[in-house]
C-alpha cells in the first residue's frame, strides 16, 4: 500500500490558492509515483488564521469536500484529506475528511482535543463524536489531528477497533519537534500499527512548523522522516503483514487487563 504525503507550506488565509496547489500536487504525484493513498496536513486550506477563520471556513464542508471528491474520482486515488476549517450550525470545527478512490466519503471527524497553547478553544468548537476506524482498499485505519497525538487513549481506541494504520495530520510547531517524533514512535510501538503523519512546513504569525512528517513501522522504526523546512513529497510502501507478525511476536493485545485499569 503506497503512501504519498504532501508536506506542504500553506498560504495563510488563501483557501482557493491552497486548493489549486493541492489539485496540482495530486495530479503530479499520482502520475509520477502511482500511490494508493495521498495524505494532506491539518488546516491546509487556511492555516491557523484563527481570528479570521470564520470568514475563510467552509460551510457544511463545502467547497473542500466536493473538491477532494472530484480529485479522488478523477485520479482514482484514496485521499486522507488532512483537515480544514468548517462552519456547521454556527460553530467552526477543525474537520478531517477521508475520500475513497470512487469519490465516496468514508469518514468525517471533527478534532476533539483543542489546543490551549494556541487559544483554539476561543475560536473553534471541539468534536463530540466517538472516533471510529474506516476502510480503504479493505484495510482498517484511523485518523487523528495534531494535538490528539498527546492522548494515547484515542490512538488505542482505534487500535482496538482494528486499525492497522494511524494517520496523524498536523501543524506541529518546531519548538516541540522532540515531542512530535517521540509520541508518534510511542503510538506505533504500543499499538503495533503503522503511523503515517503529514505535518506542514513554513511559518505563520511567529510560529515555525516542524515538517518532519513520518512513516513509522509497527516495530517503531522510522522508515521516512521529512525535512524540517522543505515542502516535499514523502513516499513509502507499507507491508501490512508486518502488523500481524509483530502482534503475534509481542502479543500485547492478548496481555491487556482492561478490567484493572479501564
Ligand X SMILES: O=C(O)CCC(=O)C(=O)O
Catalytic residues: 42, 111, 146
Strands 134-136 and 214-216: unpaired
- Give the range of 130-138, 144-152, 239-247, 248-256 binding ligand X by CB under 6 A: 144-152
| 84 sits near ligand X (criterion: CB under 6 A) | no
Least separation, in Å, of the C-beta of 170 and ligand X?
A: 6
Whole-angstrom distance, CA of residue 224 vs CA of residue 47: 24
Does 150 interact with ligand X (rule: CB under 6 A)? yes
Three cell numbers, residue 226: 521529512
- Interaction of residue 171 with ligand X, rule CB under 6 A: yes
Q: How far is the CB of 22 from ligand X (least distance, A)?
A: 19
Nearer Cβ to ligand X (29/46)? 46
Selected range binding ligand X among 20-28, 64-72, 146-154, 210-218, rule: CB under 6 A:
146-154
Nearer to ligand X, 9 or 42 (CB): 42
All three cell numbers of 82: 488532512
CA–CA distance, 154 with 140 (Å, rounded to integer): 15
Q: How far apart (Å, rounded) are the C-alpha atoms in residues 196 and 186?
A: 13
What whole-number distance in Å separates Cα of residue 4 and Cα of residue 27?
Answer: 12
* 209: DSSP letter: B
167 or 172: whose CB is closer to ligand X?
A: 172
Q: Of the ranges 19-27, 54-62, 143-151, 188-196, which one interacts with ligand X (CB under 6 A)?
A: 143-151
Residue 37 C-beta: closest distance to ligand X, Å: 22
The pattern of x and - marking residues 98 through 127 that bind ligand X according to CB under 6 A reads: -----------------x--x---------
Residues forming a β-bridge with 235: 4
* CA dihedral sign, ordered 120, 185, 41, 157: negative
The alpha-helical segments, DSSP class H, found in 83-173 are 120-123, 152-160
Minimum CB–partner distance for residue 172 and ligand X (Å): 5
Residue 32 or 175 having the CB closest to ligand X: 175
In sequence order, what are the residues at sequence separation of 6 or more whose Cβ sits closer than 8 angstroms to the Cβ of residue 24?
none
CA distances from 191 to 151, 219, 237, 244 (A): 13, 10, 19, 12
- Least Å distance, CB 78 to ligand X, is 24
172 near ligand X (CB under 6 A):
yes
E-strand stretches of 8-161: 37-39, 58-59, 78-88, 91-99, 105-110, 134-136, 139-145
- Give whichever of 11 and 72 is closer to ligand X, judged by the CB atom: 11
Interface with ligand X (CB under 6 A): 42, 115, 118, 146-147, 150, 171-173, 176, 179
Amino acid at each position: 500500500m503506497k503512501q504519498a504525503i504532501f508536506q506542504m507550506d500553506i498560504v495563510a488565509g488563501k483557501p482557493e490558492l491552497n486548493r489549486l496547489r493541492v489539485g496540482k500536487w495530486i495530479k503530479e504525484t499520482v502520475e509520477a509515483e502511482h500511490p494508493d493513498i495521498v495524505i494532506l496536513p491539518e488546516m491546509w486550506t487556511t492555516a491557523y488564521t484563527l481570528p479570521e477563520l470564520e470568514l475563510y471556513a467552509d460551510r457544511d464542508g463545502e467547497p473542500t469536500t466536493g473538491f477532494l471528491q472530484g480529485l479522488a474520482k478523477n485520479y482514482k486515488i484514496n485521499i486522507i484529506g488532512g483537515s480544514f476549517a468548517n462552519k456547521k450550525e454556527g460553530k467552526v470545527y477543525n474537520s478531517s475528511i477521508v475520500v475513497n478512490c470512487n469519490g465516496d466519503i468514508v469518514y468525517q471527524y471533527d478534532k476533539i482535543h483543542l489546543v490551549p497553547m494556541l487559544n483554539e478553544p476561543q475560536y473553534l468548537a471541539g468534536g463530540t463524536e466517538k472516533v471510529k476506524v474506516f476502510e480503504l482498499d479493505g484495510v482498517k485505519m484511523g485518523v487523528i489531528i495534531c494535538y490528539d497525538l498527546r492522548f494515547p487513549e484515542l490512538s488505542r481506541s482505534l487500535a482496538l477497533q482494528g486499525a492497522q494504520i494511524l494517520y496523524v495530520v498536523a501543524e506541529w510547531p518546531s519548538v516541540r519537534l522532540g515531542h512530535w517524533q517521540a509520541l508518534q514512535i510511542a503510538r506505533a510501538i504500543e499499538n503495533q500499527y503503522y503511523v503515517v503523519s503529514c505535518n506542514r512546513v513554513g511559518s505563520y504569525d511567529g510560529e515555525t512548523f516542524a515538517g518532519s512528517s513520518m512513516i513509522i513501522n509497527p516495530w517503531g522504526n522510522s522508515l521516512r522522516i521529512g525535512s524540517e523546512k522543505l515542502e516535499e513529497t514523502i513516499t513509502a510502501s507499507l507491508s501490512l503483514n508486518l502488523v500481524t507478525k509483530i502482534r503475534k511476536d509481542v502479543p500485547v493485545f492478548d496481555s491487556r487487563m482492561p478490567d484493572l485499569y479501564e
